[in-house]
Amino acid sequence: MVRHFLKDDDVTPAEQAAILRLAHELKKSPYSARPYAGPKTVALIFDKTSTRTRVSFSVGVSDLGGTPLIIDAQTSQMAGKESVADTARVLERQVAAIVWRTYAQAGLEEMAANSNVPVVNSLSDDYHPCQILADLMTVQEHRGDLKGLKLAYVGDAANNMANSYLIGGALAGMHVSVAAPAGYAPAAAMVSRAAEIAATTGGSVSVYVDPAEAILNADVVTTDTWISMGQEAEKAKRIADFAGYTIDESLMSQAKSDAIFLHCLPAYRGYEVSAGVIDGPQSVIWDEAENRLHAQKALLVWLNEQSN
């Protein structure tokens, strides 16, 4: 049966741990796995802009012996011109996997339902599960075992990064704490799903309005842009709504003294994070950005093995 990765809990806690172990191995031995030798081709479809995802998947597929094929949805027959199902039927006969950055989660589900090769969500409006794998790998590098660590996310807790931290962190047995102003809290269904998972892994989920409460004694502090892709028209309102939610030195001091700071990037200094924090000694964002490569390679290797 083909395995897809459309959201964080498309893998079990044990499977997530196995992918992370492989990611560390591949970081040490980058060319030790060659599932796409041939070379086989992997389709990398982008409906939205990207730097890290485009580079890390392209380099990753090459490292795995394959050829990355970048497809810009706007200049293909996608983006509303041809159905997702028909696109899947064309691609699955020629590529070894389909990686898609898009808007609606439903589109990814339709792609997966019509594909006999793995489909990977490289960011949707609802989740960014590849980013969370890289983030968890980075936390392991700097803090060791994930179980029992407190991860605090401050900002737009209704966005894709927050959802993936809630679900992915719960899978890893972490205590995930989020803080958001009124109107930006995570969906109740997302919180209950994360809490349900956390109950099986020893983790927990907490939702706050006050960012200092969420960050208190955290091992990992993180945030994301206040204006996600597609929300540009709401920029002025969002900047006003998130006043007081900038992770600056004062808020960061609520965390443990050896806490690390993560940001998926791109970052907007002076808005969701101060320059002093993101460019300071607790920030591990460049390791995090590099780990996109290793974590996604591990994911592709694992999906390929599971699907054969």
Catalytically active residues, by annotation: 101, 128, 131, 224, 264, 292
Name the residues that contact ligand CP, by CB under 6 A.
50-53, 123, 131, 264-265
CB of 69 to ligand CP, least distance (A): 17
Nearer to ligand CP, 229 or 239 (CB): 229
- Report the side by side order of strands in the sheet with 220-223: 204-208, 175-179, 150-154, 220-223, 260-263
Cβ nearer to ligand CP, comparing 123 with 259: 123
CB of 292 to ligand CP, least distance (A): 7
Task: Give the nearest distance from C-beta 283 to ligand CP in angstroms.
Answer: 15
Q: Judged by CB, which is closer to ligand CP: 50, or 283?
A: 50
Give the strand pairing for 67-72 and 41-46: parallel
- Pick between residue 149 and residue 289 the one whose CB is nearest to ligand CP: 289
| Smallest separation, CB 299 to ligand CP (Å) | 14
